[in-house]
Amino acid sequence: MPLMLYNTLTRKKEPFRPLDPANVRLYVCGPTVYDFAHIGNARPVIVFDVLFRLLRHLAKKGEWDGGKGETKVTYVRNITDVDDKINARAKEEGVSIGDLTERTTKQFHHDIAALGVLRPTVEPRATDNIPQMIELITTLLRRGHAYEAGGEVLFEVTSMADYGALSNRNLDEQQAGARVAVEPHKRNPGDFVLWKLSTPDEPGWDSPWGRGRPGWHIECSAMSKRYLGEVFDIHCGGLDLIFPHHENEIAQSRCAHGTGVMANVWMHNGFLQVEGQKMSKSLGNFVTINDLLNTDKFGGKKWDGEVLKLAMLQTHYRQPIDWTVKSLEQAAQKLGRWKRIAVPMKTDGALPDQLSPRPLFPLIQNALEDDLNTPKAIAQIDSLINNASREPVVEVSDALRFFGLLRDPYSQTMELTKLEKKLIAQRGAARTNKNWDESDRLRDELAALGVVLKDNKDGTTTWEVQR
């Protein structure tokens, strides 16, 4: 069976084929870093990690390159570190914006490490991509899709014939609904900010329109273009991002590049609520990942990140989840059972030799290929255990490793490939020759391969492999 994915854009499940059989390209909107991540934020991290794992698994099997198994999967998940919510929080706390975003980004990484998810290939920060945003906005102005007014550069929604296709709303509906506050400087109420001027105490970057900062939507258009190209395969995020965020990303990217789509497939996870209620600070039912892992506020004990992950995967990613302590208890029980039955790992964490090359067993693969049907995959594991004539059950170990509920099977190799070594050498030469454009180009190429370079003050360059 080919991989079938539900596409919000067409409202259908469709067979998936990458645009480039050598490289499957995936973008997930990442967190805005000003506070602890809550368990709702953990949902896209968890479900799109399963997608990343499945794509890697199929790539290794040669699904898209005639059996060669050389297809790469490039997964980009950004960090939104420029946003008015961040500015407000930094002011409230009396700390610098840089300190706040640094601290919360670290905390985010720390929290999700407990969930056993793979690192994205590239994790760009918005603040490292301001020139790319300025370039996109310049193109939109030149092509007649944007205008300057009232200290802002705005995207003009009426300049795009099919604006609203993702969220299925046309402009008349949007305007009649008057969901968007009427602001006199806007040509249409739905026009949205690409750039806005900053006061001296707000963060800002020099631009052709004065010192200012980007709007939220342009950040993702710029970062996805930089690391994945003008058109790529899959774009993901939570349901709440369909409108306006994703709609506006599409408008910007398509109008700047003159393309028919931004990404071929748009996937959205459903929302999570807590014990039957919307999670909100005012209701006092806000569950952060950190609290769940490190306090006994929920059911009187600390919980393992893997348990949270399994509890979430019991629900299909497009369905809403009502998260309860009871669901954690059930997941903990199940995971405990699975782990007792799975083949034990050697003490060094390595897996028994005979396991490493074996594919994920077909029933689980089939379930996941059906639009990431994780509840079905979980049921398959249970029925396999119930019907197994022997213990330990090696397929359970395979499945656990696949989901990152044991140590990872494809434990991401930290070794550089020949090509990567060559590119690093070429970049070193470009720097020596002060050929900065070439050097930047090679750095980006390496980043897209998961090799992040760091130029040190002493003139040396080191790298970190993130795959």
Which residues here bind Zn ion, judged by CB under 5 A? 29, 220
Let me know the angle formed at the C-alpha of 33 by 32 and 39, rounded to the nearest 5 degrees. Answer: 80
Q: Choosing among Zn ion, ligand AMP, none, which partner's interface includes residue 220 (Cβ < 5 to 8 Å by kind)?
A: Zn ion
Residue with smaller CB distance to Zn ion, 104 or 224: 224
Residue with smaller CB distance to ligand AMP, 86 or 154: 86
Residue with smaller CB distance to ligand AMP, 83 or 304: 83
Q: Which of 23, 24, 31, 87 binds ligand AMP (CB under 6 A)?
A: 31
**DSSP 8-state symbol, 242:** I
List, as one string, the DSSP characters of 143-202.
TTSEEEETTEEEE-GGGSTTTTTTTT--HHHHHHHT-SPP-TT-SSTT-EEEEEE--TTS
Contact 63, 3 (CB under 8 A): yes
Phi, psi of 26 (to 5 degrees): -130, 130
Q: Which of 5, 9, 26, 29 binds ligand AMP (CB under 6 A)?
A: 29
Q: Choosing among ligand AMP, Zn ion, none, which partner's interface includes residue 238 (Cβ < 5 to 8 Å by kind)?
A: ligand AMP
Q: Which of 128, 173, 240, 440 binds ligand AMP (CB under 6 A)?
A: 240
Contact 171, 244 (CB under 8 A): no
Task: Measure the CA–CA gap between 270 and 144, rounded to whole angstroms.
Answer: 36
Q: Which of 40, 214, 215, 404 binds ligand AMP (CB under 6 A)?
A: 40
Residue with smaller CB distance to Zn ion, 46 or 220: 220
Binding of ligand AMP by 36 (CB under 6 A): no
Q: Choosing among Zn ion, ligand AMP, none, which partner's interface includes residue 203 (Cβ < 5 to 8 Å by kind)?
A: none
Residue with smaller CB distance to Zn ion, 29 or 385: 29
Give me the half-sphere count of Cα atoms (radius 13 Å) on the Cβ side of residue 186: 17
Q: Choosing among ligand AMP, Zn ion, none, which partner's interface includes residue 279 (Cβ < 5 to 8 Å by kind)?
A: ligand AMP
Let me know the angle formed at the C-alpha of 134 by 133 and 140, rounded to the nearest 5 degrees. Answer: 90
User: Is omega for the bond preceding 244 within 30 degrees of 0, making it cis?
Assistant: yes
State the nearest-atom distance from the C-beta of 245 to ligand AMP, in Å.
8
Binding of ligand AMP by 416 (CB under 6 A): no
Tokens 């610098």 found at:
96
**DSSP 8-state symbol, 415:** S
Binding of ligand AMP by 322 (CB under 6 A): no
Q: Which of 16, 24, 44, 312 binds ligand AMP (CB under 6 A)?
A: 44
Q: Choosing among Zn ion, ligand AMP, none, which partner's interface includes residue 393 (Cβ < 5 to 8 Å by kind)?
A: none
Give me the half-sphere count of Cα atoms (radius 13 Å) on the Cβ side of residue 97: 15
Site string for ligand AMP, 245-284 (x = CB under 6 A): ------------------------x-xx------x-----
Cα–Cα nearest to 255, from 166, 144, 130, 133: 144
Task: Measure the CA–CA gap between 112 and 123, rounded to whole angstroms.
Answer: 14
Binding of ligand AMP by 43 (CB under 6 A): yes
Q: What does the block give as tokens for 449?
A: 């391969």
Site string for ligand AMP, 199-238 (x = CB under 6 A): --------------------------------------xx
Give me the half-sphere count of Cα atoms (radius 13 Å) on the Cβ side of residue 268: 21
Q: Which residue is nearest to ligand AMP (CB)?
A: 238
Binding of ligand AMP by 164 (CB under 6 A): no
Binding site for ligand AMP (CB under 6 A): 29, 31-32, 40-41, 43-44, 237-238, 240-241, 269, 271-272, 279
